Chain A
Amino acid sequence: MWSSRSHGHRIAALTVIGTAIVLPLVVFVLGPNMPPGKGTPVASSQVTDNTVLLVVMTPFTVFILVYLAYALVAFRAAKGEGLIDGPPTRGHFKAQVAWLATTTAAVLFLAIFGTAELLADNGAGGGGGPNPVAKPSGAVLPVQVIGQQWEFTYRYPTYGGVETASLVLPAGREIAFHVTSLDAVHSFWAYELGVKADANPGVDNVAYVRTKKPSTFQIRCAELCGLWHGYMSDTGRVVSPAAFSTWIAARRRQFAPIMKYLPKYASSYAPDPSYRAG
């Protein structure tokens, strides 16, 4: 029969060995493939965040699995042995202190790291409300995202306030998404861009992102918003600056007939209640 000290040492040793094996796999194999990819600096930063979270949780996960496996093997009742109650559990000062210190250090590190990351990359793509704490220093292209049941539409205030049904962005530009809603709460999730910003009625939620090279990205609503929430999706495009100029000019011509009816561009809209809906 091993002493409880021996069990503790074995579990600790197995945890260290297991962590040493798994951690490089997490850092070099799993980490680079974490979502949402590296479509923008914000998205790349989120990949790093996810990797750091995995690294921190790896030793704890390994410890729990080692403990479980060890208990199944070492504390298994022998064949024919009856049910024997174990010795009464007593406090173990060193173990308690070690556990509290380790978990406290992990939580504090993640709190500080998470706060720093939220401020980095001008808001981490999450939307910082109408007056974000962190803002890019250079020029930005504002694009308004309007959520409604059940479609996103987009306005480009620097191009006459034209509204479009599809989202196209120029490559290599700092974009300021102004996300709002006309009815229920939606969430504008541009997956590969690393942007996920809530769309609330009457609120201008600003999220910054810098586009890189031409690509496509998925757009989803990430807030359960009614019957067709699951269908509230589209594919956005990042195109070259020249292609963007051509595209936006074509949209201005296409939607010229409706422009006279659009409200003046504003940070949010409060449509009059229609007379039936009240």
Chain B
Amino acid sequence: MGTKLAVVIAGVLAVAVLIGFYIGLLAGGPTPYRVPTASAGGARSVDLTLETVAAVGSKLSPNKNWVSYLVREHGVWHRSTVWTLPANTLVHVTVYNFDGKSGLRNPFLAQARGVVGGSFAINGKATSSINPDDASHTFAIPSLGVIVPIRGVDDNAPQQCDYAPCPMSNAHETITFTFRTGKAGHYRWQCFVPCAAGFVYGFGGPMQTVGYMDGYVNVV
């Protein structure tokens, strides 16, 4: 009787530990990244440097084949999509996109909104929109009215990156733009391109999981 009871208790404890471990894995979101602030000429601004990759790789995620955003923190690429930004500040964003073209489901989202000057730059060339079929991703904070389409790397481009972090020698597009954060708040950001390979309509997996193609912007 005593042995049976001990076995049952041990079994229950083992299952509880396994459940706790599983929940911990699910709940363990990315580490928030507080973007350093700089002041120049009285205007506050921050630099946010991002990378978008077709496959995040096993070094950065257990889901090595998932598409993902990465953020550069102190010169190192991290898989963090929760960023803390100061309020009423200009945010200079640079996105190095190493991913190919997926195309937007809604072409309307291929025009930039909510950015300073109404335009953004692709490899240094200013524009306000792209061909929706060329979109690889978007950078969008809907509540702030910000959306910028990210043009994809050509299918035939040489030296394409397989897994992140991708060296700058690999084929990539450089997208730059600036937006203003406005008042403090907790905002979500997301990609609007159905770019999740292998998932129904391209909107499962990394498109439905914070830490890959979605995240939060904490404006403080």
> Which A residues fall within an 8 A CB radius of B?
146, 148-151, 153, 163, 165, 182-184, 226-228, 231, 255, 257-258, 261-263, 271-278
Contacts and interface: CB of A to CB of B under 8 A. Distances in A.
A271 to B, nearest CB: 5
Contact of B190 (A150, A183, A258, A275): A150
A257 B129 contact: yes
A125 B112 CA distance: 33
Q: How large is the interface on B (under 10, 10 to 19, 20 to 34, 35 or more residues)?
A: 35 or more
Nearest to A276: B102
B72 interface: no
Q: Identify which of B100, B190, B194, B202 gathers the most chain A CB atoms within 10 Å of its CB.
A: B194
A149 B143 CA distance: 14
A227 B129 contact: no
A278 B109 CA distance: 20
A220 to B, nearest CB: 14
A250 B55 CA distance: 41
Interface of B: 100-111, 113, 128-129, 131-132, 142-143, 145, 147, 188, 190, 192-197, 199, 201-203, 207-210, 214
A276 B202 contact: yes
Is the contact region of chain A dominated by helix, strand, or loop, or is it mixed? loop
A278 B107 contact: no
B106 A261 contact: no
A148 B106 contact: yes
Given A226-B208, A276-B100, A277-B201, A255 B106 contact: no
Contacts of B105: 148, 182-183, 271, 274
A228 B108 contact: no
A255 B103 CA distance: 19
Contacts of A228: 188, 190, 214
B11 to A, nearest CB: 35
Given A277-B195, A277-B196, 9 more contacts: A148-B106, A153-B108, A227-B214, A228-B190, A257-B129, A261-B110, A263-B107, A275-B101, A277-B197
